[in-house]
A and B are shown apart, each in its own frame.
Chain A
């Protein structure tokens, strides 16, 4: 009884109004903040559960990009002999794969997050943004583990991080915004159209080849192509990543602004669309 009373005083009996909403809605940051513990627990759950009942556990966070690196090194490096900016192919691919895998995991998990979290959505209220947000952010842990391996590889190949390494978090933020923006769109669409679950792998695959992961951005020449390339935020992220760590290629200066603009508009439009569709999630999912 005393506990209830104390809470009553504390909460001043907040008033909740339930009524139909119309049109577009922005993000209720205050509400999102008040649910920060839930978001924290959802991220924590995603990390905890990710590699449960696997033999190798968290090692998969490293092995996933590592296997891709080996395949790329053999096929694109040794067989196709695609130039890798004078960097040993394994290091070149691994540095590109790190932000890419983070992005790929983030957007894939986010797009599926509402559907797999349907029993939450239909049973409890909380800001729905928490679900895709936590699936994207949970990937940061995987990224950090793999990053340690990258550092090890750099020691092995005798590379020292460049001065520009401080810009890395910026590129990570850009990747996160892009993954979240795309993920919000796909997640909200997936609720109504399960086709999205089938389409997402193709989007991700096409996106991979549209980003300089298996090749060097220096291959892209011509003003027109540069501009088109700048529209893909992940191109800026991957390119910038290699530049910041290995010091190869160009700093993505002019195209970076375009990348940021595109990523932000993807994120903002994603949030708006998500918030608009959010009201019907529980009915449709």
Chain B
């Protein structure tokens, strides 16, 4: 029996609401906070010390226990906010757990974000050393692997240029190259593949599978189910901070895709969110539905996807068209489509009476590529008035499991991934000569 590489026992992390859970803060928040701070202090002084315990808290992770053997590659799946990143942050000691214990045998390298500590003013060469040191590499190690890193990143010509002059692609390649040449016994990887172009993602995946074949222990967080399937044999599923499943990757992915992990597949409009210029059009709800008509955040590309838009008309509108613009999260357009595109519909609904409506459309199976998509909704009368438009009203993930070519662990460029009718035939040499 070999030693355990990572043993996690009853690990838990509690956040005070308003600390980490709120994703980002605006300058206004900060200003308001600064202005309110003395008063808050004052009021907490009056209420006494109990106010600290009364602050609302949330468990980002709780009662999580599992073991990883040396050389295992463990996938971690769960929807946004399930505690995946928190788990990696605890294991890499960026933040402390509130309860429980984890013992880790071996040097830990974490790739929670590529390019950590890159300084725009420094050259590529300088950043390799700085970033390497930050990631825990010794200087001799960096020197030894320097040429390899530069080669992998394909930035030889620009190695003495400040990285602020780099294109975003070069920047990412260099950042990943440094991280990819870390040689720890245990590697924690979070969503590195969410950035960069398809070519870069393919390279990352290739490197990741190299790493896992070298017998190193890897914990791998990703929304990309085919990457998880290809790189890991076992996986854990997290939901609302709890470990719900620790099993083979296939089973975990099926569970994840099948269970209604549906919190963000829906956009509901409150009355105060609707601009008054939209009147008499009032958006109510936008949903992404799986084949069972359940609201879903992640859908399979091998199954049809339904988009459903509910709205109310307070007055009749002539020539109204309601539609969607689908874009990838990298901002590429996939298509624009309106509910009155068909001539028949256009004539039937030339004048839309007051009332409540639902416009829905179906994206066929085997059409979208894997990835994240955003939906923009539009309600307008052509060349008369745009009543309402919301960019990125909704985001959903498409998982490319079962789509064409999914047996190759790579991401494919392009927003669509249809089955095309391929024929392969052998043609004799004579034909070529002729």
Which residues in A have some Cβ–Cβ distance to B below 8 Å?
1, 3-4, 7-8, 11, 13-21, 37-38, 40-41, 44-45, 48-49, 52-53, 119-126, 193-195, 279-280, 282-284
The 9 closest A-B pairs by CB, nearest first: A125-B93, A52-B121, A18-B102, A41-B133, A282-B95, A123-B116, A19-B101, A16-B104, A279-B96
Assess the A15–B134 pair: CB atoms within 8 A.
no
B286 in contact (CB, < 8 A): no
The residue that B138 contacts in the complex, of A18, A37, A45, A123, with Cβ under 8 A, is A37
B135 in contact (CB, < 8 A): yes
- Looking at A8, A13, A21, A48, which has the most chain B CB atoms within 10 Å of its CB? A13
A residues within 8 A CB of B96? 18-21, 279-280
Assess the A195–B138 pair: CB atoms within 8 A.
no
Which residues in B have some Cβ–Cβ distance to A below 8 Å?
3, 11, 15, 19-20, 30, 33-34, 37, 89-108, 110, 112-113, 116-117, 119, 121-122, 126, 129-130, 133-136, 138-139, 162, 183, 185, 214-216
Assess the B94–A48 pair: CB atoms within 8 A.
no
Taken together as a complex, chains A and B put the C-alpha atoms of A49 and B130 apart, in Å, by 12
Taken together as a complex, chains A and B put the C-alpha atoms of A20 and B37 apart, in Å, by 28
Q: A283-B95, A284-B19 are in contact. List 8 more A-B contacts (CB 8 A).
A: A19-B100, A40-B133, A52-B162, A120-B117, A123-B110, A126-B136, A280-B95, A280-B96
B residues within 8 A CB of A279? 95-96
* Residues A49 and B183 in contact in the complex (CB < 8 Å), given A13-B105, A38-B134, A282-B89: no
CB distance from B146 to the nearest CB of A (A): 15
Taken together as a complex, chains A and B put the C-alpha atoms of A6 and B332 apart, in Å, by 47
B residues within 8 A CB of A15? 103-105
Taken together as a complex, chains A and B put the C-alpha atoms of A16 and B106 apart, in Å, by 8
CB distance from B77 to the nearest CB of A (A): 21
Taken together as a complex, chains A and B put the C-alpha atoms of A13 and B129 apart, in Å, by 25
* Residues A124 and B103 in contact in the complex (CB < 8 Å), given A16-B93, A41-B129: no
The residue that A49 contacts in the complex, of B19, B37, B121, B185, with Cβ under 8 A, is B121
CB distance from B123 to the nearest CB of A (A): 10
A residues within 8 A CB of B20? 283-284
A residues within 8 A CB of B89? 282
Assess the A125–B110 pair: CB atoms within 8 A.
yes
B residues within 8 A CB of A44? 130
Taken together as a complex, chains A and B put the C-alpha atoms of A121 and B136 apart, in Å, by 14
B residues within 8 A CB of A21? 96
Taken together as a complex, chains A and B put the C-alpha atoms of A122 and B93 apart, in Å, by 10
Assess the A124–B135 pair: CB atoms within 8 A.
yes
B residues within 8 A CB of A52? 121, 162
CB distance from A133 to the nearest CB of B (A): 15
Taken together as a complex, chains A and B put the C-alpha atoms of A283 and B20 apart, in Å, by 6
B residues within 8 A CB of A41? 129-130, 133-134
Closest residue of A by beta carbon distance from B19: A283
CB distance from B320 to the nearest CB of A (A): 46
Taken together as a complex, chains A and B put the C-alpha atoms of A14 and B108 apart, in Å, by 10
B residues within 8 A CB of A8? 106, 185
B residues within 8 A CB of A4? 183, 185, 214-216
* Residues A120 and B102 in contact in the complex (CB < 8 Å), given A19-B97, A49-B121, A193-B37: no
Taken together as a complex, chains A and B put the C-alpha atoms of A7 and B122 apart, in Å, by 30
Assess the B116–A11 pair: CB atoms within 8 A.
no
* Residues A18 and B97 in contact in the complex (CB < 8 Å), given A13-B185, A124-B92: yes
The residue that A20 contacts in the complex, of B91, B98, B105, with Cβ under 8 A, is B98
Closest residue of A by beta carbon distance from B100: A19
Closest residue of B by beta carbon distance from A117: B117
CB distance from B95 to the nearest CB of A (A): 4
Assess the B113–A123 pair: CB atoms within 8 A.
yes
CB distance from A112 to the nearest CB of B (A): 15
The residue that B30 contacts in the complex, of A13, A53, A194, with Cβ under 8 A, is A194
A residues within 8 A CB of B113? 119, 123
Taken together as a complex, chains A and B put the C-alpha atoms of A124 and B178 apart, in Å, by 14
**Can you list 6 A-B contacts with CB-CB less than 8 angstroms, sorted by A residue number?**
A4-B185, A7-B183, A16-B104, A18-B11, A125-B93, A282-B95
Assess the A18–B106 pair: CB atoms within 8 A.
no
A residues within 8 A CB of B95? 279-280, 282-283
- Looking at B37, B100, B104, B106, which has the most chain A CB atoms within 10 Å of its CB? B106
Assess the A38–B133 pair: CB atoms within 8 A.
yes
Taken together as a complex, chains A and B put the C-alpha atoms of A48 and B123 apart, in Å, by 11
Assess the B122–A49 pair: CB atoms within 8 A.
yes
* Residues A125 and B116 in contact in the complex (CB < 8 Å), given A37-B139, A194-B34, A195-B34: no
The residue that B106 contacts in the complex, of A11, A121, A125, with Cβ under 8 A, is A11
The residue that B101 contacts in the complex, of A18, A48, A125, with Cβ under 8 A, is A18
Taken together as a complex, chains A and B put the C-alpha atoms of A120 and B96 apart, in Å, by 16
Assess the A120–B215 pair: CB atoms within 8 A.
no
Assess the B104–A48 pair: CB atoms within 8 A.
no
CB distance from A257 to the nearest CB of B (A): 38
B residues within 8 A CB of A121? 94
A residues within 8 A CB of B183? 3-4, 7
Closest residue of B by beta carbon distance from A39: B133
A residues within 8 A CB of B106? 8, 11, 13-14
* Residues A120 and B122 in contact in the complex (CB < 8 Å), given A21-B96, A284-B19: no
Taken together as a complex, chains A and B put the C-alpha atoms of A126 and B183 apart, in Å, by 17
A residues within 8 A CB of B101? 17-19
Closest residue of B by beta carbon distance from A16: B104
A residues within 8 A CB of B33? 194
* Residues A123 and B94 in contact in the complex (CB < 8 Å), given A7-B107, A7-B183, A8-B185: yes
CB distance from B207 to the nearest CB of A (A): 15
Assess the A122–B103 pair: CB atoms within 8 A.
no
* Residues A45 and B112 in contact in the complex (CB < 8 Å), given A4-B216, A18-B93, A279-B96: no
Assess the A18–B90 pair: CB atoms within 8 A.
yes
